[in-house]
Amino acid sequence: MEIGLSMDVAFLIKEYFKGAESNLSIDVFDALTLNSVYSNVLRVLTSHFEIETSVLQSLSYCFYEILDNVHIHSGKPLGTAITHFDSENDVLKILIADDGKGIRASLSENAKYKDIDEGEALRLCLEDSVTDGKGMGFGLYATSRLMKEVGLEFIIHSGHHKLIDKDGDISIVQNGLWQGTIVYMEICTNIDVNPDDVVENRTDIEAEFNEPFLESDELNTLW
């Protein structure tokens, strides 16, 4: 698929996937193709039997929610998803980016957050039920819960600020401008997690993943 000229994909690859340039999956999506990109990426990841099923079950929910955030909150029609799986080191890298209005501008549409600064917006967006009013404010919160279990590095870059969660140490730093939002996850894929804990039992993400992505004989091996 053609990559929009307004999205600096070369920068994203250089910044987050250095050394893996020849083995990346790059997908551009809009509201009409979001579901197919989501399904295609998850099917490819499911084919890697080295990745723990519980990680994929949890990730499937978070990945869809972040893709959907682009559609709902960015104000731009297109987003970009980049993935890379390092099977030798059991590390999965996923990045979702847009060149839209950014997190602070989005949250400020909710009167409750109209006066927050950019750094505080990045911190708040990982809390439960923080939203601009167009969603539930649960997707990034659930993602942060997953990353506490299996995350090696979790980055959100929006505007002139970047939130970095590395080994459980969270910092917010001033950074070069990214017009829009980047969400980057570096995940250890050989750790078993409890998907119900990730979403605080609010939805059955195991069933939501198993039905479309696992064959019946694969399901039998899970028990």
Q: Which pLDDT tens digit goes with each residue over 163-174?
A: 999 988 899 999
Domains in the chain with CATH codes: 26-214 (3.30.565.10)
H or E element: which one contains 65? helix 53-73
What local confidence, expressed as pLDDT, does residue 172 receive?
Answer: 96
pTM of the model: 0.92
pLDDT confidence bin for 68, thresholds 50/70/90: very high
Q: Residue 56's pLDDT band (boundaries 50, 70, 90)?
A: very high
Question: Per-residue pLDDT averaged across 11-37, rounded?
Answer: 93
Render pLDDT for 137-157 as a digit per residue (tens, 0 to 9): 899 999 999 999 999 999 999
What is the three-class DSSP state of 153? strand
Up-side HSE of residue 15: CA atoms within 13 Å toward CB? 17
Please give the torsion angle defined by the CA atoms of residues 187, 190, 195 and 198, in that order, rounded to the nearest 10 degrees.
-40
